[in-house]
Amino acid sequence: MKILLVTPPQRSKDKLKSEKKFKGIKRGLLPPLGVGYIAAVLEQEGHDVKIIDAPVFDYDCNDIVSVMREFSPDLLGISTMTPVANNAFRLAELVKKEYGPGLPVIIGGAHPTCFPDDTIRASTAIDAVVLGEGEYTVLEIVKRLEQRSDFHDIPNMIYRKPDGGIVKTEVQHQFVDLEHIPFPSRHLYPILKYAPEPYENKRLPSTNVIVSRGCTWAKCTFCHRSGLMRRKYRCQSPEKTIEEIRFLIKTYGIKELVFYDDDLFSNRKWVDKFCDLMAGEKFDVVWSCRGRADTTTYELLKKARKVGLWSIFYGFESGNQDILDTIKKGITLQQCRNVAGWCSSLGIEIVGSFMLALPGEDPVKGLRTIEFAKELDCDYASFIPTHPFIGTELYRQCLQSGKTVGDSYDDKMEKTRFIPKISYVPDGYDSAEQIEELVKKAYRDFYFRMPYILKHLNKIRGLEDIKRYMSGFLFMLGLLRKA
């Protein structure tokens, strides 16, 4: 069977395109590995699979339909998150208009998993919704389509019958065995067109890997992983990870890896063994990852630094302990200071993420968060106005204590804006404009400090560093102009 897997456009306007279409790399984008894993399982069973990652090509929905004419699929699968869900629905409707009811359209991903009922009702063009980890559910759907049988006993899905009726199947907590699932089908991506943002990147070509699923903490109020998308934590072996890295270096010449796992350092035994194996391989590769302040240790950082770790992303979120407790982050300000100090002493860069205008915050506490970011002396920092996603505990908190909660994700998350439109104003603030000004101040105060500028100038060791900093400088200027 011929199967097309699509990630929808990021822009809300179908014809909004960039000048980089088909030229060079796309900063800020890395392959969507979720559909890559689904493709790998389908290809393993002999199916013909194509992936269209719309953002990397600047495709709109009409472009995708045009490409479909060349491939002529037997099944369309769309993977979507909440900010682009409306584009996914729009694409499904265009496809049905073009191909009629004969082409099955299924949809999965974070948004359909969290809101399956809303998704199936969003458009009659959607034939089925897949919940949770979809690799083997999609494979079973394909088998049933080939056999011309129905889906009634396939767990974790909602589907539409020919008469328009909606059927929900049994919900089962199925977890993919990461040790035996094939590597994602990276040959279906234009892999060398992708690159992280300048502040996330040291060497090119670069790509992402995911070695675990689930989160060991899973309590943060702002995250779906603490509720509707909570999954059992598990990790593929360090040995399989080394095999994957070896493949990426040999096949694509990869020089940098970005581990997309929620918290790589939470599994300390895994990291310890992985570092031992990396030391034996002597790969010419650097890597970065995400971590939590409460699970990182100095000893593991030191060991990881020796085998290529150069940057860690930390969600510090706030410089106020009471705010951290309110969002159930599970970390302390002192733990944040500890990891910042350890990383600095080891020469590991830190990308810190901070949320402004959380419930219980006022401008004084917002300024304290900005000062805390400067105290930690992060190498890079982002300051994001709180955007409560529907279905999270944070969303419920915001409804109880705040002035506004927006519903239009397409508009609120538009990537052409430096600051996403304010969708929540806590009681401590007077207006959305006040929050916007605070976010602008955060960026100015953090990045345009002389000690910060001198620190980065002193880090330049060669041409690659010069290119990276110049790219980052131009990136930041562009953002501030849009502000």
Output phi, psi for 384, to 5 deg.
-110, 125
383: helix, strand or coil: strand
53 membership: H or E segment, kind and range: strand 48-53
Q: CA–CA separation, 52 vs 73, rounded Å?
A: 12
Torsion 31-34-37-39 (CA) sign = negative
287: helix, strand or coil: strand
Q: Decide if 89 contacts 126 (C-beta within 8 A).
A: yes
User: Residues of CATH 3.80.30.20 domain(s) within the chain?
Assistant: 196-482
Token pair listed for 101: 């009811």
pLDDT in tens, 331-351: 999 999 999 999 999 999 999
pLDDT given for residue 470 in this prediction: 65
Token pair listed for 78: 């769309």
- Which residues, in sequence order, are bridge partners of residue 208? 258
pLDDT given for residue 414 in this prediction: 42
Q: Which CATH architecture has domain 2-168?
A: 3-Layer(aba) Sandwich (3.40)
The listed CATH number (1.25.40.10, 1.10.510.10, 3.80.30.20, 3.40.190.10) that belongs to domain 196-482: 3.80.30.20
Cα angle 156, 158, 163 (rounded to 5 degrees) comes to 150
User: Residues of CATH 3.40.50.280 domain(s) within the chain?
Assistant: 2-168
445: helix, strand or coil: helix
Give residues with Cβ within 8 angstroms of 398, minimum separation 6.
359, 386, 388, 405, 424, 426
pLDDT given for residue 242 in this prediction: 98
With the CA atoms of 30, 35, 41 and 46 taken in that order, what torsion angle do they form, in degrees rounded to the nearest 10? -100
Closest C-alpha among 187, 189, 201, 287 to residue 27: 201
Q: CA–CA separation, 443 vs 441, rounded Å?
A: 5
pLDDT given for residue 20 in this prediction: 40
Q: What is the DSSP secondary structure assignment for residue 419, as one 8-state letter? A: S
pLDDT given for residue 395 in this prediction: 87
Q: CA–CA separation, 264 vs 290, rounded Å?
A: 6
Q: Distances from the Cα of 435 to the Cαs of 367, 368, 383, 419, 426, in angstroms?
A: 11, 14, 11, 10, 10
Q: CA–CA separation, 263 vs 215, rounded Å?
A: 7
pLDDT in tens, 397-432: 888 888 876 554 444 444 434 556 788 999 999 999
What separation, in Å, do the N-terminal and C-terminal C-alpha atoms of the chain show?
48
Residue spans of beta strands (DSSP E) within 109-233 = 128-130, 157-160, 166-168, 194-195, 206-209, 212-213
122: helix, strand or coil: helix
Q: Which residues of the chain have pLDDT under 70?
A: 11-25, 225-230, 405-420, 461-462, 464-483
pLDDT given for residue 262 in this prediction: 87
The whole model's pTM is what?
A: 0.89
Q: What is the DSSP secondary structure assignment for residue 414, as one 8-state letter? A: -
